[in-house]
Amino acid sequence: MTAAEVLAELKKLGNPTIKKILMNHSAKEPLFGVKVEDMKKIQKRVKVDHALALELFDSGVGDAQYLAGLIADPPQMTKAQLQKWVKNATWGMVGEYTIPWVASESRFGAELAREWIDSAKEDIAASGWSTFASLAMLKPDSELDLVEMEKLLMRVQKEIHTAPNRVRYVMNGFVIAVGSAVVPLAAKAKAVAKAVGKVSVDMGGTACKVPDAAEYIAKIEKAGRAGRKRKSARC
């Protein structure tokens, strides 16, 4: 399929109700309002098409940028392409999910995450913390820099309540990811979650809530899924 054909199909799949919901969650125009399940049907047909993914992302259409992450080939992503993506993400669903998923499966995940979390731009910093969370959920513990991860946990404990709005949300997600998936640091993550307590995030008037990190980790443990890694960061 060509980028023009995919964009035309996405436009037909656009749903006004879904678009309104997404716009309430900070999405910006251009946006069609396509359900993720419908995008995954396109993904199933296309499978992996890296060139197409790059074209779709460059379209600037929010739905197309999300789909681009699903069909991209992370090992082919260059550092320059990832930097371009993080700077041009149209909204949080792309910046906090699509890009971190692809970055964490690329060769540059940890390197770029370190850079991005120190960005003065809230959306880029949020992408960095989400990338670290994806790495925690994806990489075997033996491949993670556990010393760095522990320092990041302590940084969260110190900075989360004064960090920018969306950065607070993804920092909380990072604690959950480490506590759920990184066995050597689970106790430290739970201690940080307890110390941090309730995290206040402006969710834009939506019904969405910030998960309690300590309770979330406890649920994972109770379900017998502690330490379980994902086969793919993307979902």
Q: Cα–Cα–Cα angle for 78, 70, 152, nearest 5°? A: 65
For the segment 46-65, the average pLDDT, to the nearest whole number, is 98
For the segment 106-128, the average pLDDT, to the nearest whole number, is 98
The domain limits of the chain are 1-72, 94-235
Q: Tell me, what's the pLDDT at 234?
A: 87
How far apart CA 39 and CA 47 sit, in angstroms, is 11
How far apart CA 49 and CA 138 sit, in angstroms, is 22
Q: Tens of pLDDT along 183-232?
A: 999 999 999 999 999 999 998 878 889 999 999 999 999 999 999 999 99
For the segment 109-125, the average pLDDT, to the nearest whole number, is 98
Identify the residue with better confidence: 47 or 206.
47
Q: Tens of pLDDT along 123-169?
A: 999 999 999 999 999 999 999 999 999 999 999 999 999 999 999 99
How far apart CA 54 and CA 72 sit, in angstroms, is 8
User: What is the rounded average pLDDT for all residues in the chain?
Assistant: 97
For residue 215, give Cα distances in angstroms to 170, 195, 210.
Answer: 16, 13, 11
First to last CA, the chain: 22
Q: Cα–Cα–Cα angle for 12, 18, 19, nearest 5°? A: 75
For the segment 85-101, the average pLDDT, to the nearest whole number, is 97
Band (20; pLDDT cuts 50, 70, 90): very high
Q: Tell me, what's the pLDDT at 43?
A: 97
